[in-house]
Homo-oligomer: A and B are copies of this chain.
Amino acid sequence: MTTRRTGLREQKKQATRDALRTAALRLALERGPDNVRVDDIAEAAGVSPRTYNNYFSSREQAIVAAVTGEREARVAAAVAARPADVGLADAVIEAVVDQYTAPDAAGRDALLLITTRPALREAFVEATTAIEHPLAEAIAARVGDGGEHQHAARVLAASVAAAVRVALDQWLSATVSSVTAGGLVVPSGSLPDLLRAALAPLAPALDAADRARGGGTRDDGPAGRA
């Protein structure tokens, strides 16, 4: 239903997209990002270079996509999955934290690569924009479909994305400075904390929107923001 636009077409497309980003990441890891031409990626994925940028509008985007995956859909799904009585703020915060807390054992070196190269870092941060629309729909579904709510949902989703961006910026700058300063590469385990801290200031807005819907009461609480 949701993904059922067409059968074979969409399937092949997805396969190509995945082949491209996988190849991009693999090559970037093997030779270093600067020694990877677009043509190489295209060749590795078995398509023409022109087709490559039918899928990605920059080389960085392709590499990063291998790591970000389908995060946008997962965040939205996570929000939708939370029971309706937990309060919008908590639902969103936990959903986001869950999805960005990547126990990416496999993609750990990929992240190291990304955090190292400025261009990749920018693309990585920029990729969070993708959650806006799915998240807006998820929030709208919780808050109500009224035109008024629709707009609020969009704004809140954009704000959440912005907050995530800020958190990632902090995380990355902290990482780079720790690398620069000491020899120690802090694994930056505090991303979840940074995310919570960045999202906390938005909680009042989210809760206000939540409260303004049809009329549910909610209990605050267990997340304990302080």
| 197-214 of chain A: CB within 8 A of chain B | 197-205, 207-209
- Residue of A156, A158, A200, A201 contacting most chain B CB atoms (<10 Å): A201
**Closest-CB distance, A226 to chain B (whole angstroms):** 11
Which one, B151, B162, B201, contacts A162 given CB within 8 A?
B162
Q: Please give, as numbers and ranges, the residues of chain B lying within 8 Å of A170 by CB-CB distance.
A: 151
Considering only CB atoms and an 8 Å cut-off, how many residues of chain A contact the other chain? 25
Which one, B155, B166, B208, contacts A198 given CB within 8 A?
B155
**Complex: chain B residue closest to A205, CB-CB:** B205
Q: Does A159 make an interface contact (CB < 8 A)?
A: yes
29 contacts between A and B (CB under 8 A): A151-B166, A151-B170, A151-B197, A151-B198, A152-B200, A152-B201, A154-B166, A155-B166, A155-B198, A155-B199, A155-B201, A155-B202, A158-B159, A158-B162, A158-B163, A158-B165, A158-B166, A159-B159, A159-B163, A159-B205, A161-B162, A162-B162, A201-B208, A201-B209, A204-B204, A204-B205, A204-B207, A204-B208, A205-B205
Q: Please give, as numbers and ranges, the residues of chain B lying within 8 Å of A165 by CB-CB distance.
A: 158
**Closest-CB distance, A135 to chain B (whole angstroms):** 12
Q: Please give, as numbers and ranges, the residues of chain B lying within 8 Å of A156 by CB-CB distance.
A: 201
Complex Cα distance, B151 from A200, in Å, reads 10
